[in-house]
């Protein structure tokens, strides 16, 4: 056998060796020692050494769908943006509408370049009238910070909180009860894509009803010291530690994009098909994003016939073998028990139920263009009170 | 520990001789490195395999790998259960998770393979 994972990292390299090779130039989150004591498989991701899996991706995936899991997402970046002109600045920087976000609400949107390509996808939290908290990807954090700095008014303050902010994702239907046990105040009134301050011990923390799994769940922002304790506490209450492997299969089943796969600086944001995140307004890149003729290809889901997965970079062909697109992500879907993928398909072919062929290194796979989410039973938008 | 009743290839397959047939699978180390196995492409019955030749594919959630035959022979039987429950290879790589059987084998080829102790030592050097 010879094998390498989809990130190109040889999995047979043990954690000890990989950490010694990368230790000098890769960052570690505050929880790194927790991961190593749990014998996690570690891989580089976004400049960090991150846990890919603990006991197994499928077990961690199923725990998230059916019970509760906890993810270390401390690698992600957080910025604080404030000042009287911050709304106008963010309205110009982000594809989503900002002025209509209410205090206590958060919203997904793109940071676009002048050509309409995606610099990053982010979630913006409105703290009060003139104060916002932005959560970005690890690999793009410094690029984002520089880009935002160059495009805000002199009166707008931009602070990078990433190094002092820890972030954990507690996800899955049973996570509501766990989160409530750990918080001083009630979480019952926390609505989907809203956030609130609460107390974990004596520390004020921020909890949002967001996540990357589709399930009822929370992202919690807290001090690095508290994150160590929260990690242990949630596991003691039944949360299963889950790695980036399960995070990837969970988001893929929901049709959520992963920066660097579905989104990048060369792909027009409108082609990603996340229309709800693109407001009809003026913003950097809007001329290209809002131009219907720029939408030459569209991101679509593909359900494959068997268990064999398509992978990033595989070509998508029509049934008469014309090249019509390419795969951006693909994996076996533990919930659907078949392989699913996402990819860009020429607009004229991007019709649901159209049959396609995926050309992989090891042969051809057949599948159908499918609407996303692939997984229809996710609990994320359900009433939280039913899970407490 | 690797069972002592069989031999091992550097590419992490095992081969066990039973009634002049060779049973082939992958090692516990290999299944652990791959993670949750989701798909196995089995060789065709009747296929003539060469020692160290590619004869199948194993996919896990995150990885894909080629499978090599540790010795030469003709495929007489494949573990069809793996088409629907490939996780048998994760759960029981040395028994229930066997992959294919060969006849027309040349047992002298076994001499080039490692025994269990040598394989364990090999894993230490590889790590």
CA B84 to chain A, closest CA, distance in angstroms equals: 9
Bridge partner list, A80: A133, A159
Tell me the residues of A at the B interface, defined by beta carbons under 8 Å apart: 1-6, 11-14, 16-17, 41, 52-53, 56-59, 245, 249, 306-309, 311, 331-332, 334, 339, 361-362
Q: Provide the pLDDT for residue B73.
A: 97
CA B59 to chain A, closest CA, distance in angstroms equals: 7
The predicted model gives A322-332 an average pLDDT of 98
Residue A112, phi then psi, degrees to nearest 5: -105, 155
Could you tell me how far CA B62 lies from the centroid of its own chain?
20
Q: Provide the pLDDT for residue A274.
A: 87
Tell me the residues of B at the A interface, defined by beta carbons under 8 Å apart: 11-13, 26, 29-30, 33-36, 38-39, 41, 57-59, 61-68, 86-87, 90, 126-127
CA B95 to chain A, closest CA, distance in angstroms equals: 18
**Of B36, B66, B86, which has the smallest distance from its Cβ to A1's Cβ?**
B66
The CA distances from residue A37 to A51, A77, A135, A235, A241, in Å, are 11, 25, 28, 14, 12
The predicted model gives A237-261 an average pLDDT of 98
**Of B12, B41, B61, which has the smallest distance from its Cβ to A1's Cβ?**
B12
Residue in the block written with tokens 């949107």: A109
Contact A3 B33 (CB under 8 A): yes
Name the more confident of B19 and A21.
Answer: B19
Q: Is the pLDDT of residue A130 over 60?
A: yes
The predicted model gives A163-185 an average pLDDT of 98
CA dihedral sign, ordered A113, A119, A120, A122: negative
pTM (two decimals): 0.94
Contact B61 A58 (CB under 8 A): yes
Contact A308 B34 (CB under 8 A): no
Contact B34 A249 (CB under 8 A): no
CB A28 within 8 A of CB A34: no
Which residues of chain A make contact with B34, given a CB cutoff of 8 A? Answer: 1, 3, 11
Tell me the three state secondary structure of residue B28: helix
CA A277 to chain B, closest CA, distance in angstroms equals: 30
Other C-beta atoms within 10 Å of A381: how many?
11
Contact B35 A309 (CB under 8 A): no
Of all residues in chain A, the percent with pLDDT exceeding 90 is 91
Q: Provide the pLDDT for residue B127.
A: 66
**Of A17, A57, A308, which has the smallest distance from its Cβ to B61's Cβ?**
A57
Tell me the three state secondary structure of residue B100: strand
Contact A309 B59 (CB under 8 A): yes
In this prediction, residue A136 has a pLDDT band, given cuts at 50, 70 and 90, of: very high
CB B119 within 8 A of CB B93: no
Residue of B nearest to A361 (CA): B64
pLDDT in tens, B63-107: 889 999 999 999 999 999 999 999 999 999 999 999 999 999 999
pLDDT in tens, A273-319: 888 899 999 999 999 999 999 999 999 999 999 999 999 999 999 99
Contact B65 A3 (CB under 8 A): yes
Residue of A nearest to B26 (CA): A1
Mode of pairing for the β-strands spanning A338-346 and A297-304? antiparallel
Which residues of chain B make contact with A58, given a CB cutoff of 8 A? Answer: 36, 61, 87
The predicted model gives A372-385 an average pLDDT of 97
Q: Provide the pLDDT for residue A10.
A: 38
> Where does chain A have alpha helices with state H?
15-22, 32-37, 57-66, 86-93, 141-150, 175-182, 224-236, 244-254, 286-289
Burial class (CB in 10 A: 0-12, 13-18, 19+), A109: buried
Which residues of chain B make contact with A331, given a CB cutoff of 8 A? Answer: 61-62
Q: For chains A and B, what is the number of CB pairs under 8 angstroms?
A: 85
In this prediction, residue B12 has a pLDDT band, given cuts at 50, 70 and 90, of: very high
- What is the ipTM, given to two decimal places? 0.90
Residue in the block written with tokens 């000890």: A16
Q: Provide the pLDDT for residue A361.
A: 86
Q: Is the pLDDT of residue A79 over 80?
A: yes
Mean pLDDT of the residues in chain B: 96
Q: Provide the pLDDT for residue A1.
A: 55
Q: Provide the pLDDT for residue A388.
A: 96
CA B110 to chain A, closest CA, distance in angstroms equals: 18
CA B53 to chain A, closest CA, distance in angstroms equals: 11
Contact A1 B58 (CB under 8 A): yes
CA B104 to chain A, closest CA, distance in angstroms equals: 23
CA A267 to chain B, closest CA, distance in angstroms equals: 25
Contact B33 A4 (CB under 8 A): no
d(CA A325, CA A298): 9
Residue of B nearest to A250 (CA): B61
**Of B12, B36, B63, which has the smallest distance from its Cβ to A5's Cβ?**
B63
Q: Is the pLDDT of residue A53 over 80?
A: yes
CB proximity list for A152: less than 8 A, separation 6 or greater: A81, A85, A86, A89, A93, A158
Among candidate residues A77, A88, A20, A69, the one with its CA nearest the CA of residue A49: A20
Q: Is the pLDDT of residue A5 over 70?
A: no
CB A133 within 8 A of CB A206: yes
Bridge partner list, A357: A317, A366
Burial class (CB in 10 A: 0-12, 13-18, 19+), A114: exposed
Contact B59 A245 (CB under 8 A): no
């Amino acid at each position: 056998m010879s094998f390498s994972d989809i990130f190109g990292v040889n999995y047979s390299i043990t954690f000890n060796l990989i950490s010694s090779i990368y230790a000098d130039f890769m960052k570690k989150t505050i929880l790194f020692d927790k991961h190593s004591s749990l014998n996690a498989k570690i891989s580089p991701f976004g400049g960090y050494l991150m846990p890919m899996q603990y006991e197994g991706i499928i077990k961690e995936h199923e725990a998230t769908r059916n019970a509760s899991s906890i993810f270390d997402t401390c690698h992600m970046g957080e910025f604080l943006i404030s000042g009287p002109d911050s709304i106008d600045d963010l309205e110009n920087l982000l594809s989503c509408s900002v002025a209509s976000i209410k205090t206590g609400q958060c919203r997904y949107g793109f940071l676009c370049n002048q050509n309409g390509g995606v610099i990053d996808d982010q979630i913006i939290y409105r703290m009060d009238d003139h104060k916002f908290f932005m959560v970005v990807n690890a690999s793009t954090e410094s690029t984002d910070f520089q880009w935002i700095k160059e495009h805000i008014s002199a009166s707008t303050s931009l602070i990078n909180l990433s190094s002092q902010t820890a972030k954990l994702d507690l996800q899955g239907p049973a996570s509501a009860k766990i989160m409530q046990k750990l918080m001083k105040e009630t979480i019952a009134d926390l609505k989907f894509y809203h956030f609130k301050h609460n107390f974990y011990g004596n520390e004020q923390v921020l909890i949002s009803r967001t996540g990357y799994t589709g399930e009822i769940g929370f992202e919690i922002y807290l001090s690095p010291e508290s994150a160590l304790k929260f990690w242990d506490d949630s596991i003691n209450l039944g949360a299963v530690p889950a790695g980036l492997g399960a995070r990837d299969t969970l988001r893929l089943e929901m049709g959520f994009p992963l920066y660097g796969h579905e989104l990048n600086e060369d792909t027009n944001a409108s082609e990603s098909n996340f229309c709800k995140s693109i407001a009809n307004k003026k913003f950097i890149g809007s001329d290209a994003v809002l131009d219907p003729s720029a939408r030459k290809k569209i991101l679509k889901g593909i359900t494959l016939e068997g268990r064999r997965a398509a992978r990033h970079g595989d070509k998508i062909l029509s049934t008469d073998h014309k090249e019509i697109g390419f795969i951006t992500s693909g994996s076996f879907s533990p919930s659907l028990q078949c392989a699913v993928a996402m990819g860009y398909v020429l607009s004229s072919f991007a019709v649901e139920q159209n049959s396609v062929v995926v050309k992989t290194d090891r042969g051809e796979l057949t599948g159908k263009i499918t609407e996303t989410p692939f997984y229809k039973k996710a609990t994320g938008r359900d009433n939280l009170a039913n899970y407490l | 520990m690797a069972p002592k009743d069989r031999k091992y290839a550097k590419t992490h397959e095992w081969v066990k001789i039973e009634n002049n047939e060779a049973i082939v699978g992958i090692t516990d180390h290999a299944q652990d490195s791959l993670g949750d196995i989701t798909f196995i492409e089995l060789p065709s019955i009747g296929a003539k395999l060469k020692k160290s030749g590619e004869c199948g594919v194993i996919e896990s959630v995150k990885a894909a790998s080629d499978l090599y035959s540790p010795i030469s022979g003709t495929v007489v039987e494949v573990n069809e259960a793996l088409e629907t429950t490939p996780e048998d290879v994760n759960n029981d790589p040395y028994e229930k998770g066997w992959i294919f059987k060969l006849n027309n084998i040349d047992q002298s080829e076994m001499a080039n393979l490692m025994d269990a102790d040598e394989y364990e030592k090999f894993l230490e050097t590889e790590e």
